[in-house]
Amino acid sequence: MICHSFARYRKGEVKREIVLLKGNGRMKSKIGVLLRAVCISGLFLLFLMFPMAVQAQCLCTTNSDNTMTIVEYDGSHGAVILPGAINGMPVTSIGLNAFFYHTNLTSVTIPTSLTIIGDCAFNYCTGLTNIMIGNSVTVIGFQAFGYCPLTSVTIPDSVTTIGGSAFGTCANLTSVYFKGNAPKLGDANVFHDCKNATIYYLPGTKGWEATFGGRPTKLWKQ
């Protein structure tokens, strides 16, 4: 499965960087400044990664524009609230496979600072039933929520692109509520095998037809 093979390669690469940092005590690496994040009662407490640092649950990297990307989550908590900023730098993206196959995860709240949910970010999170997407997200990546037991999702009007199979095989999905115009789809399989899903859109929004991503649409009467 493509997400699984990517996850193994990426996680191995990140761990090699950590060994290097522990060995020489330096904070810089090819992927930027790494931070440790410990999730306690649904909140992230963040620590600079020194050699004596405690066991990590989440790894983040700094980007060239002084924003942060979550690249790996190692926790076992059910409900997770992602941070909007780390050391004054906004968290703007969730990287490839960052939460892949975390079956204990039940709920995720994404902050308004975040704009990109990366490919396979929550793929195979088979306990994830609730996702709150922040109002600044513009891109939901390929297979981002594939195989999650979500029943209902609300997509903010900021979203302009949804990758292929983003909600593929979310077999429990019945309702997807869009607050804005119809976004661009990566392929026709965005809602593959979501056999009971209905797409709801608001009056006055544009781009909607009788079906969207292979699923029937209906006017959302709030």
Q: What is the CATH number of the domain that holds 154?
A: 3.80.10.10
With a CB cutoff of 8 Å and minimum separation 6, the contacts of 164 are 142, 143, 185, 186, 187, 189, 190
CA 182 to chain CA mean position, Å = 20
Pairing of strands 139-140, 130-132: unpaired
pLDDT at residue 222, as a whole number: 82
CA proximity to 49, closest of 60, 35, 64: 35
The answer to whether 82 and 91 are in contact (CB under 8 A) is yes
pLDDT of 37: 45
Give which of 146, 38, 137 is closest to 97, Cα–Cα.
Answer: 146
| Residue given tokens 């976004």 in the structure block | 183
- Report which secondary-structure segment, H or E, holds 106: none
Q: Smallest Cα–Cα separation from 132: which of 118, 120, 114, 147?
A: 114
Handedness of CA 199, 119, 121, 135 (dihedral sign): negative
Please state the domain count of the chain: 1
Distance CA(144)–CA(121), nearest Å, equals 5
Torsion of CA 110, 175, 78, 127, to 10 degrees: -130
**Domain containing residue 67:** 2-219
Write down the pLDDT at residue 44. Answer: 41
Question: What was the pLDDT predicted at 3?
Answer: 72
With the CA atoms of 13, 19, 21 and 24 taken in that order, what torsion angle do they form, in degrees rounded to the nearest 10? -140
CA dihedral 37, 39, 40, 41 (to 10 degrees): 150
Residue 96 structure tokens: 């490839």
Per-residue pLDDT of the chain (222 residues; tens, 9 = 90+): 457 544 443 444 433 233 222 222 223 333 334 444 443 333 344 433 333 222 236 789 999 999 999 999 988 889 999 989 988 999 999 999 999 999 999 999 999 999 999 999 999 999 999 999 999 999 999 999 999 999 999 999 999 999 999 999 999 999 999 999 999 999 999 999 999 999 999 999 999 999 999 999 999 998
Of 174, 219, 179, 221, give the one whose Cα is nearest residue 200.
Answer: 219
- Give the Cβ contact number of residue 168 at 10 Å: 24
The pLDDT score that the predictor gives to residue 4 is: 54
**Other beta carbons within 10 Å of 43:** 13
